[in-house]
Every structure is written in structure tokens, then in C-alpha cells.
Amino acid sequence: MLLNIDKPTKQAIFHPLGAECAHVPDPLGTEHELIGRMGRDGGWFEAATLADARATTSREAPVLEAQSCHYCGG
Ligand SMILES: [Zn+2]
């Protein structure tokens, strides 16, 4: 269960299946998208539910609203 906040695309995507989703990179995190905190382009955060993901998004990137991933979120 992972939340990706991506500033360049202005999206916050909640992946209920986390690492099992084809749209979650492995390894997780890049130079500019950090794990557990925001980098230049965004970040990856643990989130148990979509409500958790939305709470994290409103804290880290208030202009965005988290959406469920279309691939692993049903
Ligand atoms: Zn996904």
C-alpha cells in the first residue's frame, strides 16, 4: 500500500497493491522522488487506506488530491 505524489504530473496515486503493481517502480524511489518524504519531484509514502493517502497528500502537497490507481486499485 503506497502513495506516490508526483509533482511534475500533478498527481497523487494510491496503490493498494503497492509493490505488486506494475506501475510501482522497483527499486522504489529516485534521486528526485524520495521514500517517506518529499523530494524535488515528489515522493513515496506508506498509506494503509485511501483516506490515509488523502491525509498524507493534504499535508505534503495540499493542491493535489489522492486517487486510487486504475491498475491495482480496481
Ligand atoms: Zn497501482
10-27 residue pLDDT tens: 999 999 999 899 999 999
Residue 14 alpha carbon to ligand 1 centre in Å: 7
Q: What are the pLDDT digits (tens) for 27-53?
A: 998 899 999 999 999 999 999 999 999
The 3-state DSSP class for residue 51 equals helix
Strands 33-35 and 42-46 come out as: parallel
pLDDT of res. 54: 98
DSSP state, residue 55: H
Residue 21 alpha carbon to ligand 1 centre in Å: 5
pLDDT of res. 19: 86
Residue 30 alpha carbon to ligand 1 centre in Å: 17
Q: Of 8, 26, 20, 6, which is closest to residue 67 (Cα–Cα)? A: 6
Contacting residues for 19 by C-beta, under 8 A, at least 6 apart: 2, 26, 28
Residue 46 alpha carbon to ligand 1 centre in Å: 13
